A and B are shown apart, each in its own frame.
Chain A
Amino acid sequence: MRLGVAACLVGAPVVLAAAPARAQVVVLDTAHTLYHESPTRTNMTVYTPGVALSVNPTQWLTIRGGYEADIVSGASVSVKAGPAYQAVNPGADVVSTASVNDLRQSPSGGITLRKGDVAYTAQYTYGTEHDYKSHSIFVSAKTEAYEHDTQFELSYARNFDRVCDRTQAVNDRPPRFRALENSDACFADSDPLRTRHTLSIDGLQAGWTQAWTPTFATQISYTAQILDGFQSNPYRSVILAQGLKAQEHHPENRARQSVSLRANLFIRPIKLAVRLGARVYRDTWDITSGTGDIELEKYLFEGFRVAARARYYKQNGASFWSDDYTGGNAPLGPKGQYWTGDRELSPFSSIGLGLRLTYGIQPVKGRLLGLMTGLKVGAAADAIQFSYDEYTLGGIPITNARAYILGANLSASF
């Protein structure tokens, strides 16, 4: 399983912060995202509401609290098979799906201390799902240099997670392991058919943000993550041979690293902001990926901005990925001691297009409604088309994997 991103604001990378028009004592942020996809035979809808409150009782201290949830419903693949297995089982439905309903809740709290040009942040986040529990600590230090034109930030996070699984027979080995049927009583110690695995995650990010000219700034960051523990989907099985299906079996260790570069350029004659981003990624499961994105944003009138964005992503598959572990030569056939039915570990590319609207008000005098020193609302819509090179469901390619993402957010300063 992969690390989810928590609700909160402190995890965001360094920014060239705008100077507030006046002291903001309290800032309330709320964001809501709706994700939906319905490729062949499966579907997934995730609603993610989040709220965060930060208070600045003094200039050197910020206290934050937040809450985020994922409300998940849909149907996902529970038994994965490929074309070779389908070919020797004509007429049989060799792929099965199961309904998914889950709720992730994630409260968090933290502080930022500032002394001179340095800010230190610490945060704790708790995450709970029916089948997953997480304790996460996050610390970061950020400093400015060279007349505030340069910012450096170093962040570290450590997750202490536990993942529910089915208790396997004592003498069984992974090819005989059975998948978890459901998340009932996952964290009730009394159920002998449920067990818990640990997953520890260490994350490190170093960032450098630089203003080069009055209209051009860049940000480069290096991110590393080491995962140690259970990382399979406990609910998913993979057909390994005729009549043999086994729970998905991923390696327990994974080291991931990436380098990201972002550039913001403001073109004065047409008052247009251009944002370019690029990221390269590699991990010890042999996945390599590249991401490129562009966003153009412009003020239509005072306070109202419209942005259009595009993103391209491409990755190769994990070293142990195969579309059919019962087959012969690549891309079918066994790839060693691990197996997966996860399409996110297969080679694929995606193209995303999106639109974002933002309206912000910051009155020069007085307060909005007698309360607020500033108000910002935003809405966004994105669509992503995935193109899978090898992933099939019983030999049927997934050509209609499109995701739709709607977002809305509000930020009020008091």
Chain B
Amino acid sequence: MRKSPLLIVLTLLCVAPLASCVTVKPQQRAVLADPIMQFDGDPQAAAQLRHAIDNREGSYGGGGVSGGGCGCN
């Protein structure tokens, strides 16, 4: 793990420029804009589900970093 964060950052820096090669035109965005294609369509409900699951596991991450107490009985 000692080297992996640097590796991740370097990988992202290498891959990110690929994004400039991609263009989805505005008239092609109908599907992407549909609620069915959102990464977090119901953020509050998703946060509550993550909260319930995170409190039963030793792991964390990928769902935001905001806090607000433990609630981890």
Contacts and interface: CB of A to CB of B under 8 A. Distances in A.
A333 interface: no
Contact of A13 (B1, B22, B39, B55): B39
A33 B47 CA distance: 10
A156 B64 CA distance: 9
Contacts of B25: 147
Interface in B15-40: 16, 19-20, 22-26, 28-40
Contacts of B71: 4, 46, 48, 70, 72, 104, 106, 127, 129
B59 A287 contact: yes
A155 B19 contact: no
Contacts of B40: 12-13, 15
Nearest to B67: A136
Contacts of A305: 35-36
Nearest to B34: A18
Contacts of B68: 4-8, 68, 106, 108, 125-127, 134, 136
Contacts of B60: 2-3, 223, 225, 256, 258, 281
**Chain A: interface size category:** 35 or more
B64 A33 contact: no
A217 B48 contact: no
A410 B7 CA distance: 41
B10 interface: no
Contacts of A4: 51, 55, 67-72
A326 interface: no
A1 B72 contact: yes
Interface stretch (A111-119, A173-181, A260-268): A260-268
B65 A100 contact: no
A24 interface: no
**Chain B: interface size category:** 35 or more
A344 interface: yes
Interface in A1-51: 1-19, 29-33, 35, 44, 46, 48, 50
A136 B67 CA distance: 6
Contacts of A136: 66-68
B66 to A, nearest CB: 3
Contact of A16 (B37, B43, B59): B37
A209 interface: yes
A146 B20 contact: yes
B7 to A, nearest CB: 10
A350 B59 CA distance: 13
Nearest to B33: A18
A344 B56 contact: yes
A2 B44 CA distance: 19
Contact of B45 (A128, A150, A345, A378): A378
A106 B9 CA distance: 34
Instruction: Tell which of B44, B51, B55, B66 has the most Cβ of chain A within 10 Å.
Output: B66
Given A76-B73, A134-B70, A213-B24, A289 B58 contact: yes
A145 interface: yes
Contacts of A222: 5, 8-9, 12
A149 interface: yes
Interface of B: 1, 4-5, 8-9, 12, 16, 19-20, 22-26, 28-73
5 contacts: A15-B41, A48-B71, A214-B28, A258-B61, A318-B58
Given A5-B48, A146-B20, A222-B9, 17 more contacts: A5-B63, A33-B51, A33-B52, A106-B68, A106-B71, A134-B68, A149-B19, A203-B67, A213-B22, A213-B24, A215-B37, A256-B59, A257-B1, A259-B61, A313-B59, A360-B35, A405-B49
